[in-house]
Structure 1
Amino acid sequence: MKKNSIHANQVNWAKLKKEVYSKTIQLNNPYEMGSAIRTLYQSINDFHGEFFYRDSTFRWKRSPLIISDSIRKELKKGVKPKIELLESNIGYLRIPPISGASVAEFSKKAQSLNDSLCLLLTKGIKGIILDLRLNGGGAMFPMLLGVEQLLPKGHLGSFQDQTKEEWSIKDHQFFTDTTMLSSIIPKSSIMAEKIPVVILTGPATGSSGEFFIIAFKGRKKTILLGTETAGYVTANSGFTLNKFASLNLSTGYGVDRNGKVYKEALKPDIPNNSPDNFNMVSSDEKVKAAISWLKTNIN
């Protein structure tokens, strides 16, 4: 933590070590480490990191996010890609959180998302709404590769910590630096780099969902509409301690294609706190507001 935390220079490490060791000296087993681990993470202001011991996870949580009942209900159902063709040839695509354990798994999920986008593109959409209100994170790269037709090829942004890892898309593959993380075979060759995009955000939009947005920063005719995101904008790195224990630690921040660093929750360009209606997309007030903006920005 002292070597890698983004807030390491804000901590009195000698004092912290003494405090944490005093909490652990009388413990009977590692399952009782919760209080000590929470003290560690709180001391380095890391509410995005986690400590894992066998089947247990310890973390420090800041003040809980205020999430509406409609969002909670949808999250419990499980979030999947959803598409609709709305008025004025405007497309709607819900971007789900994506997790996985291998390049093959990430590629399969990126392909599924891209198939949904391609279906909309073949219908001749003139603008698109990307709904991230239910996207709490996971892996950023399959989400971005899944909408590659909307993005310019090449550099999209980067993780910035002690080193810098650039994000890029090339030949239908997503890379951090020279490491290929996922690949797809698009079912449509239609490019949509210039169509206007509205990204819907909310308090459940977090972590990789926020990095997804950062990759769209600097794109022309692209806005955020809704409410402020969750604020989990730190890049996490994993560290293995032994065969039973490991931890994730906030080690850096996201940087957009123009070099701007993001250290706080992302604020919407057009604030809108109207109720969410995920079951009737065309009746959703945020969707209606997005359609209104898109109509004035479609060539």
Structure 2
Amino acid sequence: MSRNRPPERPETAPGLHAERVGRHTDGRLIVDGVTLSLCPGETVGLLGPNGSGKSTLLRLLSGVLTASTGVVTLDGRPLPAVGRRATARRVATVEQHTHTQTELTVHDVVALGRIPHRRTWSPASDSDARAVTAALERTGMTDRAEQSWHTLSGGERQRAQIARALAQEPRELLLDEPTNHLDIQHQLDLLDLVVSLPVTTVIALHDLNLAAMYCDRLLVLRAGSTVAEGSPAEVLTPSLIEEVYGVRTEVTHHPGHPVIRFLRQATGTPTRA
């Protein structure tokens, strides 16, 4: 279930923020003037159809991509001034697809999260070992530590990637559609884990009901621009969903969050999302 929504952020609060950021790629405008301010400890869901700019916005927030316009700041400093290594000590990312041809154990994968904290070619320190152990424990992957990455199920791989991100000891965690290709039980298990973490989280999701259940706040994108921002109850209305996704819905309010039922286009019969 979603945690209580945090209080409004003071303007001077530290953290990760995007101010009217835009990104052009190959002459196309992918993200257009998006502003996002994060409150410590909250879970923010990014919603929008395919191609709406969710993944690009996450890469801008992580510093992997540089904004064409606007600025992303960390504790008030633009990310280029903070530097990639210093940013990686604070901001961890979990990509939608992660592949490797190298034979790695789960422990090896999680230990990659310590790279921003180590000098080049330096051996792992005691603090590195403690961080990896704690990340494995937090994600329930301790008994898989010596198992080959290639033998893991989809849900286990996602947990290992979250453990790798936690080994960075971040304050901000960015996840790009981490529930894709997982069955319902693994989706719920994964999101239960994510919202239990002591970090500020931005997570791109397709499932509107999961977003309503687990996110404190939602930012909805369409064609790279912000369409709506607010609590799930404020944002997930039939009119907004039809405007953004082109489908009709019925929205009821379960205690704590809205529940979306999609209407079959041919018959108007409601079906659970």
- With structure 1 as the length reference, what TM-score do the two structures score? 0.28
Higher RCO, Cα 8 Å, sep 6+: 2
Compare the two structures and name the one with the higher helix fraction: 2
Larger Rg: 1
